[in-house]
Amino acid sequence: MSRSFAKWYDFFMNPLEKRKFIKIRQELLSKASGRVLEIGSGTGINFPLYKGVDKVVAIEPSPFMQERSRKKQSQASVPIKVVQASAEQLPFESDTFDTVVATLVFCTIPQPEKAIEEMRRVCKPNGKILLFEHVKMENRFLAVLQDWLSPAWKKICDGCCLNRETLTLLRSNGISILNVEDYYNGLFVNIVAENQK
């Protein structure tokens, strides 16, 4: 991930975060418990929002994003450790975490199936999996538009796939989805799932 993308990410996301996303994040993260793994923590936007969990271990492959997350890490009310790693190869033992969190990250993971496999491996049996993601929309016209825009968008936004079918990927890779809430006509979804294994 480039330094410039990391530098400008919060600036461009701020209008959405302030208007709606912060409440969505707070509601989702209120369901986290115990030892938490956050996948792709980016600039640390979630760090100050964790309450009542034992510890958060956050993985982030980009050193530039890690650097920008330090301020929010110091604002957190729970212990947070940031580890440089990729979602496809998590450096943790199996059945380590009570909750796994991913927010606006599955669109950029090069091998999402492998990331889901790893997420399931490190999450305890019946542990919680909490995601807030943008996905391919059900509206046919808008979905075609996403397909058309995706190649250029991917280049501009450091690999972000506008048309990733994350819900389908989760279901086809053994994730038991308990609840889905959608926002902005189904462009964004909040997913509460359980790691049944």
Cα–Cα dist 118/110, whole Å: 14
Q: 97-103 and 123-134: which strand pairing?
A: parallel
| pLDDT number for residue 107 | 83
Is the entire prediction scored with pTM above 0.85?
A: no
| pLDDT number for residue 14 | 57
Nearest to 184 by CA among 20, 13, 17: 20
Q: Tens-digit pLDDT profile for the chain (197 aa)? A: 455 544 444 445 555 556 678 889 899 999 999 999 999 998 899 999 999 999 999 999 888 888 889 989 999 999 999 999 999 999 999 999 999 999 989 888 889 999 999 999 999 999 999 999 877 667 675 666 656 566 665 666 566 666 678 888 999 988 999 999 988 777 788 999 999 87
